[in-house]
A = this chain, B = another copy of it.
Amino acid sequence: MTREIIVYGLGSMGRRIARLALERGYTIAGAIDLDPAKVGQPLRRVLGLPAGQGDTAVSADAAKVLGAARQTVVLQATSSFLAQVAEPIERCLAQGHDVISIAEEMTFPAAACRETAERLDRVAVQNGVRLLGTGVNPGFAMDMLVLALTVPCGRVDHIRVTRTNDLSDFGPTVLTGQGVGLTPDAFRDAVADGRVVGHVGFEQSVALIARHLGWQIERVEETRAPIVSSVARASDHMTIEAGQVAGCLHRMTAFAGGREVLHLEHPQQIRPDLDGQATSDRIVITGDQPIDMVIAPEIGGGAGTAAAAVNAIEYLACAAPGLVHLTDLPINSPRVLTA
């Protein structure tokens, strides 16, 4: 079992991952980040932890950190998009390290770009290492948990997943990407020109589910609608008036065999409670075993993604070298390390 890891990226999520990995008994052999405020600092200070033995200094020199350590698992947390993480991931693989990435598109990279996914798979195979993408969404709430619920189903006719969450913890970058604070008209313009993206990862959830169930998806439909607030709402980072946009209701529907088989719906907004909306994860499966599951409040995305990444370390070795998908592995539970 691997006990040495490298953390690549020390933004909000990278720091959560690093703190959890230390709590769980892993040794952090290297920490990579480009932020001048962090470079050269002891990692534990950057993590807000008291100084400790065997601490490493944050470095901006990825090649040096990756070259100094041998056969670790790199936990990579820098961006949502395959195009931005492919090069740093490839560098890790080429240096003989396994990689666990929380980039949303990495949970099923071929759904973002088949060529890049194939190249990463090839590099991993050539170097005898493994590459996995994970997280809460995509990676759990709208795909792996859905698949877990199909175990007692003999036939699945349709799946509907709704994740209603609260964006209040997030800062301006995330809120802008969801159109928070816009007028409904401005929201539609921002969707049209790509400033409002909604959720990143529907394609990956559809692909994970379809691959595991053996579904041949023929097409998908996607909509992004403004969640117009009927009341004033305020989070730490943003205040909106009644009639303004509180967030984005992003939906994707997938079709197979000429009919709808999967509907994913993800309303993301600030303070849904102020407008009478409770947060939850809901999964409804129609078939020979009807299942209606609710988790309320919803699974925490930040803590959950850090946990999913750290939990995966113990299971990665189950897979053959190459690009690994979560559906190839046993359930990635938090395994207590024993001496």
Contacts and interface: CB of A to CB of B under 8 A. Distances in A.
A190 interface: no
A5 B41 CA distance: 61
A24 B155 CA distance: 8
A337 interface: yes
Contacts of A333: 147, 150-151, 153, 212-213
A31 interface: no
A336 B305 CA distance: 30
A156 interface: yes
A335 B293 contact: no
B144 A148 contact: yes
Contacts of A54: none
B289 A335 contact: no
B337 A307 contact: no
B294 A294 contact: yes
Given A295-B291, A304-B152, A212 B147 contact: no
B215 A336 contact: yes
B145 A148 contact: yes
Contacts of A148: 144-145, 148, 331
B300 A289 contact: yes
A307 to B, nearest CB: 4
B154 A144 contact: no
Nearest to A307: B154
Interface string A302-339: 01111110110000000000000001111111111110
A202 interface: no
A39 interface: no
A337 B213 CA distance: 9
A125 interface: no
B332 A151 contact: yes
A7 to B, nearest CB: 15
A334 B155 contact: yes
Nearest to A215: B336
Nearest to A299: B152
A65 interface: no
A187 interface: no
Nearest to A305: B152
Given A300-B289, A307-B289, A150 B334 contact: yes
A20 interface: yes
A140 to B, nearest CB: 5
A296 interface: yes
A189 interface: no
Nearest to A296: B292
Contact of A293 (B136, B147, B294, B327): B294
A214 interface: yes
A305 B151 CA distance: 9
Closest 3 CB pairs of A and B: A152-B304, A214-B336, A148-B148
Given A152-B304, A154-B306, A292-B295, 5 more contacts: A147-B333, A212-B330, A212-B333, A214-B337, A289-B300
12 contacts: A23-B154, A144-B331, A153-B311, A154-B303, A213-B334, A214-B336, A288-B307, A289-B300, A291-B295, A327-B331, A329-B330, A330-B330
